[in-house]
Structure 1
Amino acid sequence: MTTPVRRHRSPGPMERPLGWARNPLAEFDELINQMGGLLESTVEAAPGAGMAAWTPSADVTETDDAYHVEVELPGVKSKDIDVEVSGQDLVVTGEIKDRERKGVLRRSTRRTGRFEYRVLLPSEVNTEGVKADMSEGVLTITVPKAEVAKPRHVEITERSGD
């Protein structure tokens, strides 16, 4: 008596799911970018939508004596940026102007128009000591903490047990 032999076929290229070798997170990021572009183009086409501002990418770090905010603004001139600190609220606003081009623009993914970055800092700050500088398309803002907000090291003294 013979036993049946089971043969396994290796899946051919047509039997693999689409995107088999791709990174699904990269595809998700691309989908989000496309959806954002569609939403922006729809909103910009609406009447009165020219007032909406977009938010640039930024990092906020904290040291013992200050907050450091780095805002990505490639191609923006420092004269087109306004930095304002009021209490614990830091606001960076400005505009990236559309440049005049020759020919027909077929595709554009660069942001233009008004932008606004707003952050509420976690503690009191010294608004008089705020500094901002621009280098290689990154605006760096240093916001010193107020004296009351700085950490203070407390020395421990020892007493005798009398």
Structure 2
Amino acid sequence: MMDTMERLMEEPPAYRGGTLGSQGEPTNTYTRGRTPWEIKEGEEDYKLMFDMPGMTKEDVKVWVEETMLVIKAEKLVKDNNDMEGEWSAKSFGKYSFRIALPENIQFDKIKAEVRDGVLYVTIPKAPLSSKILDINVG
């Protein structure tokens, strides 16, 4: 997983978060600088953070497919003509990430939470078990 994230840091993909340009056309650009994600490896787990402005937990889906962590989110532009006096939503777009997971994790204990437009994913590492097996010498 760390190799995947390091590779993404060296060759970042197009940022999928969308905004509208001055003429209303979608712009999907990513420039080098601050990446929209962060990963930290601790003693007991991996912690991932993805910036997803304007997204709520209803907009985000996270699942494991084989040994890949898949993250998808989408917020569509809504027509706010009937909402007099309210500001239109500026945050919308699509996000799609696939991250190869290491073998030493507890797949069934992965947790994800969206707070304030940020997706937090915690991936617990599997405990190291050193089994001692006696081998009968015949």
Superposition TM-score, scaled by structure 1 size: 0.48
| Structure 1 position 147, deviation (Å) | 2.3
Q: Which runs of 4+ in 1 moved over 6 A?
A: none
Change in CA separation of 1:125 and 1:83 when aligned onto 2, cut-off 3 Å: same
Change in CA separation of 1:83 and 1:121 when aligned onto 2, cut-off 3 Å: same
Where does residue 13 of structure 2 map in the other structure?
Answer: none
Where does residue 53 of structure 1 map in the other structure?
Answer: none
Where does residue 136 of structure 1 map in the other structure?
Answer: 116
CA–CA distance in structure 1, aligned partners of residues 41 and 49 of structure 2: 12
Change in CA separation of 1:94 and 1:86 when aligned onto 2, cut-off 3 Å: same
SS in 1 for 2:58: helix
**Which of structures 1 and 2 has the larger relative contact order (alpha carbons within 8 angstroms, sep 6+)?**
2
CA contact (8 A) 1:134 1:140 kept: yes
Where does residue 10 of structure 2 map in the other structure?
Answer: none
2:52 is matched with which residue: 53, 65, 73? 73
Tell me the matched-pair count. 94
| Structure 1 position 137, deviation (Å) | 1.1
| Structure 1 position 122, deviation (Å) | 3.9
Where does residue 5 of structure 2 map in the other structure?
Answer: none
| Structure 1 position 101, deviation (Å) | 4.2
Change in CA separation of 1:65 and 1:87 when aligned onto 2, cut-off 3 Å: farther
| Matched ranges for 1:136-155 at <5 A | 136-148=116-128
Where does residue 11 of structure 1 map in the other structure?
Answer: none
Bigger proportion of residues as helix: 1
Runs of 5+ consecutive residues of structure 2 not aligned to the other structure: 1-19, 29-34, 82-89, 131-138
The structure having more radius of gyration, on CA atoms, is 1
Change in CA separation of 1:43 and 1:98 when aligned onto 2, cut-off 3 Å: closer
Runs of 5+ consecutive residues of structure 1 not aligned to the other structure: 1-36, 45-55, 103-109, 153-162
CA–CA distance in structure 2, aligned partners of residues 92 and 130 of structure 1: 13
Bigger proportion of residues as strand: 2
CA contact (8 A) 1:133 1:140 kept: yes
